[in-house]
Amino acid sequence: KQITSFDPGFMNTACCESTITYIDGDKGILRYRGYPIEQLAEKSNFLEVAYLLIYGELPTATQLETWQERIMSHTYIHVTLMDYMKSFRYDAHPMSMFIATMAAMSTEYPESNPTLTRRDLFEFDHRARNQQIFRILGKAPTIAACAYRHRIGRPYNYPTESSRGYSYTENFLYMLDRLSEPDYRPSPAIAKALDVLFIVHADHELNCSTAAMRHLTSTRVDPYTAVAGAAGALYGPLHGGASEAVVRMLEEIGSVDKIDEFLSGVKSKTRRLMGFGHRIYKNYDPRAKILKEYAEKVFAEVGRDPLIDIAVELERRATQDDYFVSRKLYPNVDFYSGIIYRACGFPLDMYPLLFALPRIAGWLAHWYESLREEKSAAKASIPGATHVMRARQTYVGDLNKE
C-alpha cells in the first residue's frame, strides 16, 4: 500500500495532543501549563515546576510540602545499584553511566513491568504511578552525582537526610561536592542558578527525547526503561550536546578581537555559530534571556568567567549582522547555559547530564499524560490513540529479486 504522507524528520506531523507546554517560536514565547517561563523562573522552585508539569496545576502550600517530602525521601539508591556503578571503567562517560543505571532500576522494581505482574495494560493506577514518579525524580540526581564522583575518582556521597530541608538542587550539589564537614551547605547563589537552569530545561514539548519517551511509553514498557531510552536520545550531540559545543567554540575564539574573523567563517559556511538558531524559535529564545541574566548572578558569586565577555560581544555583533538577522538566528538556551555550568565548576562531560536531569520532569509529564490519554482514548475510541506508535516508511528498494 502506498503511503502518501512522507515527512522525514517529522517537520510537519503531530502525533499527539498535549496540554503541557506551549511555544510560539515567532514571538519567542514559552509557557508551561499556561504560565510564562519568566514568571516560573523568578517565583518557583524546580520541584514546584515539576509538579505543575506532571499534574497540570501549581501545588498548594500543603501539596508542595508533601510532594517535596515524598521526592526527597526517595533519594537513596540501593547499594546494588551503587555496586553496579562502581563496575564501570574509571573514565566512563557520566551520561552513559546514568543511562545504564536508570535502565537497571527496572530490575530493582519489577512490579513496574506489566509483563511480570500480568496486570491490565490499560489500568491507570495513580498510587503506583506516583510511586514511580517519586522514585525517578528522587533517585536521578543521586545516580548523576555518583556518575560524577566516579568520573573524578572520588568515593560516592549519600544524599542529605530529608529532615535537613535541603532543596532538590542543594541536595544534588551537596552530593557532588560534600566536603568533610557534616554541615556543608552549597552556596545559595549557585543552588538558585542551578534551580533556574533546571526550570528552563524542564520541558520543551515534543523535542527528540520527549518524542522518544512517548514512543517507548506506547509499548507500556516500565518508566525506568523509558526514561533511560529518552536519555539515550538526549545524549546525542545534536540534542543535548550544544552547550558543550558553545563553550568549546568560545574557548577557541579566545578573545574579543577574534570575533569578526570567526563570524566570517560562519558566513562563508565553513563554521556554525553554536548556540544560535532553533527549529522552532525564529526570535530570541526566552530561556536564553533568563540565563544571560543568571550568568551575571553566578559570576558575582564565583568570579567573572572571561568567556562571558566574548559571548556577549559575539551576540551583539551577530544580532546586528544581516546574515543572522535575515535568517532569524538568535541565541538559544545553550548559548549561556554552558558558561554557567563552567563557572560552577562542572566538567564538560557533565553538561548533557545537567540537561537530562531536569528534562526528566518533562518526560514524566508526557508519560503521565499519554497514559491517561490512552485510557480516555480507549473509551472514546479515537483511532490510533491507543496503539503502539509505529511510523510508516516509503519503500524505495527492489521489489523482486527472485
Q: Which residues are catalytic?
A: 239, 278, 334
* Angle made by CA atoms 207, 210, 211, in degrees to the nearest 5: 80
The answer to whether 248 and 334 are in contact (CB under 8 A) is no
Is 327 a residue that touches ligand CMC (CB under 6 A)? yes
Decide: residue 108, CB within 10 A, 0-12 exposed, 13-18 middle, 19+ buried.
middle
**What is the residue whose three cell numbers read 540534542?**
239
Single residue of 273, 353, 364, 365 touching ligand CMC by CB under 6 A: 273
Is 274 a residue that touches ligand CMC (CB under 6 A)? yes
What's the length of the chain?
402
Give the CA radius of gyration of the chain.
22
Closer residue to ligand CMC (CB): 104 or 329: 329
| Integer Cα distance of 292 and 277 in angstroms | 16
Angle, helices 242-253/259-267, rounded to nearest 10 degrees: 130
Single residue of 233, 266, 350, 357 touching ligand CMC by CB under 6 A: 266
C-alpha cell at 259: 570575533
Number of residues that bind ligand CMC (CB under 6 A): 17
Is 129 a residue that touches ligand CMC (CB under 6 A)? no
In 3D space, the residue among 15, 391, 18 whose CA is nearest the CA of residue 211 turns out to be: 15
Within 192-251, the residues that bind ligand CMC by CB under 6 A are: 204, 207, 242
The answer to whether 168 and 46 are in contact (CB under 8 A) is yes
C-alpha cell at 320: 546586528
Closer residue to ligand CMC (CB): 204 or 366: 204
Closer residue to ligand CMC (CB): 21 or 386: 21
Closer residue to ligand CMC (CB): 274 or 361: 274
| Integer Cα distance of 58 and 35 in angstroms | 10
Stretch that binds ligand CMC, among 131-139, 140-148, 182-190, 266-274 (CB under 6 A): 266-274
Segment (H or E) for 259:
helix 259-267
Note the helical H segments in 73-185.
79-86, 94-108, 114-117, 126-151, 168-177
Stretch that binds ligand CMC, among 36-44, 112-120, 175-183, 331-339 (CB under 6 A): 331-339
Is 78 a residue that touches ligand CMC (CB under 6 A)? no
Single residue of 275, 352, 358, 362 touching ligand CMC by CB under 6 A: 275
Is 276 a residue that touches ligand CMC (CB under 6 A)? yes
Single residue of 45, 162, 218, 332 touching ligand CMC by CB under 6 A: 332
Q: Is 285 helix (H, G, I), strand (E, B) or coil?
A: coil
Angle, helices 351-380/46-55, rounded to nearest 10 degrees: 20
Stretch that binds ligand CMC, among 39-47, 54-62, 164-172, 267-275 (CB under 6 A): 267-275
Closer residue to ligand CMC (CB): 119 or 239: 239
Could you give the string, one character per residue 277-296, with x where binding to ligand CMC holds by CB under 6 A and - elsewhere?
xxx-----------------
User: Nearest approach, Cβ of 351 to ligand CMC (angstroms)?
Assistant: 12
User: Nearest approach, Cβ of 395 to ligand CMC (angstroms)?
Assistant: 26
10 CB-near residues (< 8 Å, 6+ apart):
211
C-alpha cell at 161: 537526610
Which residue's CB atom is positioned nearest to ligand CMC? 277
User: Nearest approach, Cβ of 267 to ligand CMC (angstroms)?
Assistant: 8
User: Nearest approach, Cβ of 283 to ligand CMC (angstroms)?
Assistant: 13
Is 387 a residue that touches ligand CMC (CB under 6 A)? no
First to last CA, the chain: 21
CB atoms within 10 A of CB 195: 23
Closer residue to ligand CMC (CB): 150 or 204: 204
Point out which residues bind ligand CMC (CB under 6 A).
Answer: 204, 207, 242, 266, 272-279, 327, 329, 332-334
